[in-house]
Amino acid sequence: MAGRGDIEMADYRAPIAEQMFVLGAVADLPGLSGLPGFEVAGLDTAEAILGESARLAEAVFAPLNRSGDREGARWQNGTVTLPKGFREAYRDYAAGGWLGLSAHPDHGGQGLPFVLCAAVQEQLTAANMALSLNPMLTLGAIEALQAHGTAEQQALYLSRIVSGEWTATMNLTEPQAGSDLGALRSTAVPAGDGSYRIAGQKIFITWGEHDVADNIVHLVLARLPDAPAGPKGISLFLVSKFLPDESGHLAKRNDVQCVSIEHKLGIHASPTCTMQYGEKGACVGWLVGAEHGGLAAMFTMMNHARINVGLQGVAIAERARQDAYAYAAERIQFGPIIEHPDVRRMLMTMTAETQAARAIVYMNAAAVDHAHAEPDADIRARWKRRADLLTPISKAYGTDVGVLVTSLAVQVHGGMGYIEETGVAQHYRDARIAPIYEGTNGIQAMDLAGRKLRGDGGAAMAELQADIAEEISQWRNDTRRATMEQALSLLAEAASQMRAHDQAGAGAAAYPFLNLCAGVIGGWLLGRQAERAEEMKASGEGDHAALAAKSSVSDFFLSQRLPLALANIAAIRCPAEMLAV
């Protein structure tokens, strides 16, 4: 790389072997395949699916990442045009049936585990985050309509969304509300025929308008005329860009418009829209779920989206990590820079943090699967507690890792990383939104410290601690086991301290507590993978170099990254008054 004319961004390669290892060792896909409805979802099926999705990610999505960033989404007179190639790429994605991977077969889906769908989504996001945001939001809407939609709504809308013929969005916040959904002002007035007339403005609507599919189905939060104040007074409504007849033919344009798109730091090819409903007083919508039940329906979408957003952090970190390794191997400065200890430290940090975040998100997704599919109600409830506990950690830690690793990728590239032609600056710009949307990471921390730690009397955290303790007691590596025993002791102290804090103290310590939890859980899951890798190596299974790398990554994380997470105990012990400004 003698000059700028020689700069080329490394190609993305889906980490199938790594994904398969985590699906087996962490998500226990073989165990999931023993549950009703998941019988075909074994490791062989997963490997075949990931091989096919890798081809789509590498050959179709990834080549459009740079060009899409440069061209960006364009708005004119209410119409949004996506960059060249995006329409064709989306059509390839839809034609492959990828949106229906985890949807119920009754609606045209394949009914496969969410965790396998997440692994596919990781590949597509790493290849092209801006384009992948379209299906990510649509997947959340599928979950909401499956859980809360009427039979008629499912028949008319859901099957066409699952097929990819139509896309879908979430319309939550408004200019005056931000994250305070209790301040929403959009209204829904009964029309007397079972429909409603929706009016209001929504902001930050990802893929709210585009030209890659024939119709867009918006799920919109609004208030009925008799709605109580606050978040308990919101309801969810389905608003279709075009009003379909009973056969699904798109007969008439609805009174909904995109009035502008945002000019952003990153994800330039993903249109972030301001949507205006009922400007002419004629926006037709239909209630989804119960009146004033929008909060429950919203969280169905939101929790699904939060896990997938954590996955975005993993994906963009993986892409940046690959680029950094490729550059370090070929860049010569006093020899190849990959031989310099500080560069190796950065690369190992990138690898360890990415693998820890991936393990947490995959475990979270698998817990959702168990919570849906386990035959025993008590076991389902236990898995739901685990999924709920992990969701804010997945979202916050995964997206923080995305920012950390993309920033390190810029650093590994040195001055060339600050130049757009290398591509790593785009990764950094794209990653920065993820800690903000779907509930900022501070909100995730408050959710963990409040509802998730205290709401069930501490049951979910106690179960997690017990599971970690039982497993690490059986580890063969003494150093690994001792390190995690100490970490688990600090986690217990931290949880006890958080429950003892008043509201101000809990708020001040919430983010440090989430970081400590993520470090302990990440260390546990990397240690599990190392123990499994060493068992396989001893029995002559697998690629010995790859298995040895698992041990190296685990030991690096436990010795160099986990202590940083555990240091948060000092902040957790401090009173809220320390935050006086």
Q: Is the pLDDT of residue 1 over 50?
A: no
Alpha-carbon distances of 474 from 186, 230, 482, rounded to whole Å: 56, 50, 11
pTM for this structure?
0.96
The mean pLDDT value for 475-483 works out to 98
The mean pLDDT value for 64-73 works out to 98
CA angle 167, 172, 173 (to 5 degrees): 135
Give residue 299's pLDDT: 83
Place of tokens 């921390």: 445
- For residue 483, list its beta bridge partners: none
Q: What is the DSSP letter of 221?
A: E
Q: What is the dihedral angle through the alpha carbons of 452, 454, 459, 465, rounded to the nearest 10 degrees?
A: 70
Tokens of 184: 């929403």
Q: Looking at 175-184, 290-299, 541-550, which range is the least confident one?
A: 175-184
Give residue 10's pLDDT: 64
- Can you spell out the DSSP letters for 169-206? EEE---TTTTT-GGG---EEEE-SSS-EEEEEEEEEEE
Q: Which residues of 174-184 are buried (b: 16+ CB within 10 A; e: fewer)?
A: beebeeebeeb
Tokens of 43: 């490791």
Q: What is the DSSP letter of 416?
A: G
In sequence order, the 6+-apart residues with CB closer than 8 A to the CB of 516 are: 490, 491, 494, 565, 566, 568, 569, 572
Give CA–CA dist 27/30, Å, rounded. 9
Q: What percent of the chain has pLDDT over 90?
A: 90
CA of residue 502 relative to chain centroid, distance: 31
Give CA–CA dist 452/407, Å, rounded. 31
Give residue 5's pLDDT: 39
Residues, the chain, total? 581
Tokens of 59: 């050959």
Give residue 580's pLDDT: 59
Q: Is the pLDDT of residue 477 over 80?
A: yes
Going by pLDDT thresholds of 50, 70 and 90, the confidence category of residue 9 is low
| pLDDT tens-digit readout, 495-528 | 999 999 999 999 999 999 999 999 999 999 999 9
| pLDDT tens-digit readout, 220-266 | 999 999 999 988 999 999 999 999 998 999 989 999 999 999 999 99
Name the amino acid, one letter, at 143: E
**Nearest Cα residue to 421 out of 322, 317, 323:** 323
Going by pLDDT thresholds of 50, 70 and 90, the confidence category of residue 581 is low
Which CATH number, 2.40.110.20, 3.20.20.70, 2.30.30.240, 2.60.40.1660, labels domain 168-293?
2.40.110.20
Alpha-carbon distances of 402 from 13, 18, 59, 459, rounded to whole Å: 17, 18, 23, 30
Alpha-carbon distances of 308 from 28, 167, 282, 285, rounded to whole Å: 19, 17, 34, 27
- Can you spell out the DSSP letters for 240-260? ESEEE-TT--EEEE-SEEEEE
Give residue 578's pLDDT: 77
Task: Work out the angle between the directed axes of helices 43-56 and 114-127 (0-180°, nearest 10).
Answer: 20
Burial class of 466 by CB neighbour count within 10 A (0 to 12, 13 to 18, 19+): exposed
**For 414-477, where are the alpha helices, taking DSSP H only?**
424-431, 441-447, 453-454, 459-472
Q: Looking at 66-75, 226-235, 423-432, which range is the least confident one?
A: 226-235
Tokens of 146: 């499956």
CB contact at 8 A, 86 and 218: no
Q: Is the pLDDT of residue 456 over 90?
A: no
Q: Is the pLDDT of residue 195 over 60?
A: yes
Give residue 561's pLDDT: 98
Give CA–CA dist 245/215, Å, rounded. 13
Q: Is the pLDDT of residue 437 over 80?
A: yes
Q: Is the pLDDT of residue 4 over 50?
A: no
CB contact at 8 A, 567 and 561: no
Give CA–CA dist 360/350, Å, rounded. 16
Average pLDDT of the chain to the nearest whole number: 95
Burial class of 481 by CB neighbour count within 10 A (0 to 12, 13 to 18, 19+): middle
| pLDDT tens-digit readout, 336-380 | 999 999 999 999 999 999 999 999 999 999 999 999 999 999 999
In sequence order, the 6+-apart residues with CB closer than 8 A to the CB of 378 are: none
**Nearest Cα residue to 13 out of 46, 50, 45, 68:** 50
Q: Is the pLDDT of residue 180 over 90?
A: no
Q: Is the pLDDT of residue 432 over 90?
A: yes
Burial class of 578 by CB neighbour count within 10 A (0 to 12, 13 to 18, 19+): exposed
Place of tokens 């708020």: 507
- Can you spell out the DSSP letters for 291-333? TT-HHHHHHHHHHHHHHHHHHHHHHHHHHHHHHHHHHHHH-BS
Q: Looking at 7-11, 40-44, 66-70, 491-495, which range is the least confident one?
A: 7-11
Give CA–CA dist 475/530, Å, rounded. 10
**Nearest Cα residue to 244 out of 151, 145, 154, 156:** 156
Give residue 175's pLDDT: 92
The residues annotated with a catalytic role in the active site are 438
Tokens of 206: 């990802």
Give residue 298's pLDDT: 82
Going by pLDDT thresholds of 50, 70 and 90, the confidence category of residue 3 is very low
Give residue 251's pLDDT: 85
CB contact at 8 A, 408 and 350: yes
Domain boundaries in the chain? 168-293, 441-579
Burial class of 48 by CB neighbour count within 10 A (0 to 12, 13 to 18, 19+): exposed
Give residue 178's pLDDT: 80
Alpha-carbon distances of 466 from 34, 434, 516, 523, rounded to whole Å: 24, 32, 17, 15
